Amino acid sequence: MTSDTLITRALEAVPYAQTLGAKPIFIGEELTLILPYSADNIGNPVLPALHGGAIGGFMELAAIAELIHSASEEDLSNLPKPIGINIDYLRRGRPVDTYARAAVFKRGSRVVNVRVRAWQEDYDNPIAALHGNFLIPSDG
């Protein structure tokens, strides 16, 4: 089974991913998640601005998707679970498509440290950043 298929199936199993409409895209082997613009994700209609919870949840999904992408197939019996997450909201999320890319910084035997960047039109101008620790399920 390809990594693209595994990630798509995992996202389909997470109800919030379905609510947001998050979808994986690959450029070579690099995984990026896209959050297509939806009026349902607007938190402040006056500005308008994306809801911080939608951005945070989207980045958490990007971290989980990257952990699935970087794991071997036998490691996928359960999804990784967040232990602790910190989010920096850097600028307003405008009503356009949003992208997120995660990187694994340290992998232990049970805990993985992941960082995620979310941006809209320019990768170098992120709207938010996530730093999180995730518990990797084990069979034992």
Residues spanned by the domain of 63: 3-135
Q: Is residue 7 part of a domain?
A: yes
Residue 34 lies in a domain: yes
**pLDDT score, position 126:** 98
Which letter does DSSP use for residue 67 in this model?
H
Both tokens of 61, joined, read 């999904």
What pLDDT is stored for residue 139 in this prediction?
57
Residue 52 lies in a domain: yes
Residue 140 inside a domain? The answer is no
- Taking CA atoms, 66 is separated from 24, 96, 104, 107, 134, in Å, by 10, 23, 8, 12, 11
- pLDDT (average), residues 58-84: 83
Q: Please report the pLDDT score of residue 78 as a whole number.
A: 75
- Which residues is 103 bridged to in the sheet? 115
In angstroms, rounded to a whole number, what is the distance separating the alpha carbons of residues 63 and 6?
Answer: 14
Q: Is residue 118 part of a domain?
A: yes
Cα 55 from Cα 89, distance rounded (Å):
9
More confident residue, 137 or 67: 67
C-beta neighbour count of 61 within 10 angstroms: 24
Domain-embedded: residue 18: yes
13 vs 40, residue with greater confidence:
40
Question: Considering the entire predicted model, what is its pTM?
Answer: 0.90
Total tally of structural domains belonging to the chain: 1
pLDDT(102) > 90: yes
CATH number (domain holding residue 66): 3.10.129.10
Dihedral angle sign, alpha carbons of residues 52, 49, 11, 123: negative
